Amino acid sequence: MFSIKPLAVATLLSASLPALAEMNTSEITQEGDYHSAVVEQTATSSYASVYQQEEYHRLSLQQSQGDSNYAAIIQKGSMNQIDFSQSGDNNRAEIGQGSAEHIINASQTGSNNELFIAQDSSGYASSIRSSTVGNDNSVTIEQNTVLGSIDYSVEGDSNIIQVRQTTITETIEGATNGNSNTVDITQTGQYNGSIRIAQNGDFNDVGLVQASYEGSSHAIVNQSGSFNKAYVEQLLNSNGSNATLSQTGIGNSASIIQ
């Protein structure tokens, strides 16, 4: 499981900044409320550094049509939003957020890309990590939690990953290996629920909805093969539920609702 705090990210970024300014360079610092920033870079070895402090900031950062790009983003305060995208090969991004009620939308396409996101929501440290290796992959993760954690990795082409978590002390861990797979996860609650996803193969699909309010719910989904479909919904049992769904082969379909 991956856990990282905004202070750790800030320290890492400050150590990395001086050596990476090549080709196009953009450095933005904003302090106060209700600021917005838009950064678009289309060259190879571009570098973007954005620091926003206080409340109601909006950042749009796009690095496209180039390789070996780097983005470093820090937001401190409340009600901030980041929209970030990278396309190309060997790109890297590091994002840190502090305080409460943040939104992060992140996507990467290309080979050997890497994305790190750290959130401090409502005064507590939340952590998100997503790494992508392949082409034309899309990863979108949103978290607004207290002591939450998300760790998701993708290897392959044309995979789509969507994760939403608005909980207290909830965890999500997943890995997708293959091509043209989809994952859609929603988790809510406040009782230490957990989700684990493992996909190996092509054209597999997982949908999972889970809530933990008066008891912990836990779900595990394993897929190995191609053209498999799995759906798990755990919303009805207030005391918590457990589900494990495994698929091996081609063209299987299964669902668990409880």
Asked whether residue 200 is assigned to any structural domain, the reply reads: yes
CB-CB neighbours of 32 under 10 Å: 12
Asked whether residue 226 is assigned to any structural domain, the reply reads: yes
**Model confidence, pTM:** 0.72
Per DSSP, helices labelled H in 72-165 are: none
Asked whether residue 251 is assigned to any structural domain, the reply reads: yes
Q: How far separated are the first and last CA of the chain, in Å rounded?
A: 27
Asked whether residue 196 is assigned to any structural domain, the reply reads: yes
Asked whether residue 194 is assigned to any structural domain, the reply reads: yes
Q: What is the pLDDT along the chain (258 residues), one digit of tens a residue?
A: 333 344 444 443 343 443 444 468 999 999 999 999 999 998 888 899 999 998 888 999 999 877 888 999 998 887 788 888 888 777 888 888 777 667 777 778 777 777 777 776 665 656 777 778 888 778 888 877 777 778 898 999 988 988 888 877 788 999 999 999 999 999 987 777 899 999 999 999 999 999 887 778 999 999 999 999 999 999 877 778 999 999 999 999 999 999
Asked whether residue 195 is assigned to any structural domain, the reply reads: yes
Q: Is 127 exposed, middle or buried (0-12, 13-18, 19+ CB in 10 A)?
A: buried
Work out how many domains the chain is built from and give that number.
1
Asked whether residue 132 is assigned to any structural domain, the reply reads: no
Asked whether residue 223 is assigned to any structural domain, the reply reads: yes
Domain assignment of residue 251, given as a range: 187-258
